[in-house]
Amino acid sequence: MDFVLTLAVIQGVILLFILYLKKFSDKRTVNLLGILLLLTVIIMFGRITYQPEFLLKYWAFVSLPDVLLFLFGPIIYQLTLSLLKLPKLSVKSKWLHYLPALIHIFILNTILGLILIDKMPYMDMNHLVLLYKLMEGAGILSCSFYLIKSFLIFQKHGNIYLQLYSSVEPPVFLRHFFLVGSTLIFIWAGSFIAKLFGLYEFMDYRIYQLFWIALAFFIYFLTYQFLLHPGLFELLPIQLDKNTTENSEGEEERVNELLEFMKTTKPYLDPEINLETLARQSGFKRNDLSALINNSLGKNFFDLINSYRIQEFIELYQKHDKPKPTFIELAYQVGFNSKSVFNRAFKKETTTTPSQYFKQ
């Protein structure tokens, strides 16, 4: 089994180098996935290199690796938010999410280490075993909580994402990710329950074989998804190569052609518009159109479509005599099919709400 884990660690390290050496535009997602992959590699490397004598020799750091149990959940949650293009967590919120990990580092790790070297006479090895069980159970609950929380976020915002963006790769990735993640937690929880009720000895690592193999599979899964969905991190760079495309006449002509098409035909009024449809209607190749929007206009497909929709909304509202139609009625008219999507897009475009905007 160690051979399988070693191969997984090597593959994980290679994937980490690829993630951090290549130029991806979605750095937030890349960084979070890289951290998640790094945590997995560290845990597996610790499993491969573990020796029982480490417990007494490095008692002051004996439980620091277990802090990773309380880091996986918050990272998975932030990764889900990033893939769905939802707002980042505030600094205060991050502190709350990582509070269990901080408590573990500064309190539990010290207590467990002191018990190991008999510096806490009123606590013995039975207490140590109990603390480890409580810690592992808390880790399972933490990972389960964040996986469920992330899945509910995906259920709520997944369809909205598909309405705003042309790429289906993040939702597809998340579906598979949640399936693999829930399988890992199920195996882990089953192993913990068996241990809790004394179905095998506490330090018998053979019962973990299935879990560790599944964890190795998790790294293979991430690698496979990375290769299968190259657009997962918005692979198109923000800036094109200046040596070949900077201020070229042909590029300007294509930009003007696209802007004229948007102005005259108003494809953004179609609630079902996506990159494929716009490329077909405008006569551009899909990849060329995507590059033109990202690099020449400095926007993604979502920003471009919603920018036109919001401008159309403002013009229509200002033209209407009293009584004015409701905001949501006009929002549907210009191509939005969700109130929450409209409100978020309006605030992103104008930095204010519709009510505040028209009071100015």
Tens digit of each residue's pLDDT (9 = 90 or more) over 210-256: 777 888 888 888 888 777 776 676 533 333 344 434 444 567 788 88
Of the candidates 216, 95, 98, 84, the one whose C-alpha atom is nearest the C-alpha of residue 150 is 84
CB 351 within 8 Å of CB 343: no
CA dist., res. 249 & res. 308, Å (int):
25
CB 50 within 8 Å of CB 261: no
- Average pLDDT of span 333-348: 88
320 pLDDT higher than 70: yes
**Residue in the block written with tokens 């926007």:** 299
Query: What is 2-233's CATH number, 1.10.287, 1.20.1070, 1.10.3470, 1.10.3090?
Result: 1.20.1070
Q: Could you give the count of Cα atoms lying within 13 Å of 168 in the half-sphere of its Cβ?
A: 6
Check residue 116 and give its pLDDT: 60
- Average pLDDT of span 129-140: 82
- Average pLDDT of span 326-348: 89
75 pLDDT higher than 90: yes
Q: Which residue has the higher pLDDT, 139 or 61?
A: 139
- What is the percentage of the chain residues whose pLDDT exceeds 70? 77
CA dist., res. 285 & res. 278, Å (int):
10
- Average pLDDT of span 67-94: 88
What is the rounded average pLDDT for all residues in the chain?
79
Identity (one letter) of the amino acid at 159?
N
Kindly calculate the radius of gyration of the chain based on its CA atoms and give it in whole angstroms: 26
Of the candidates 220, 190, 177, 196, the one whose C-alpha atom is nearest the C-alpha of residue 41 is 220
Give me the CATH code for the 248-359 domain, please. 1.10.10.60
- What is the percentage of the chain residues whose pLDDT exceeds 90? 17
269 pLDDT higher than 70: yes
- Average pLDDT of span 171-176: 87
Check residue 238 and give its pLDDT: 33
CATH 1.10.10.60 in the chain is located at: 248-359
pLDDT digits (tens, 9 = 90+) for 24-56: 767 888 889 899 999 888 888 877 887 666 655
Q: Please, where are the H alpha helices in the chain?
A: 2-21, 27-49, 54-57, 72-83, 91-97, 99-103, 109-116, 125-164, 169-196, 209-228, 242-245, 249-265, 275-282, 286-291, 301-319, 327-333, 339-350, 354-359
CA dist., res. 325 & res. 322, Å (int):
8
- Three-class DSSP category at 48: helix
Check residue 275 and give its pLDDT: 83
- Average pLDDT of span 146-175: 80
182 pLDDT higher than 50: yes
CB 66 within 8 Å of CB 104: yes
141 pLDDT higher than 90: yes
Check residue 52 and give its pLDDT: 63
Check residue 108 and give its pLDDT: 65
pLDDT-wise least confident of 125-139, 191-205, 215-229, 258-272: 191-205
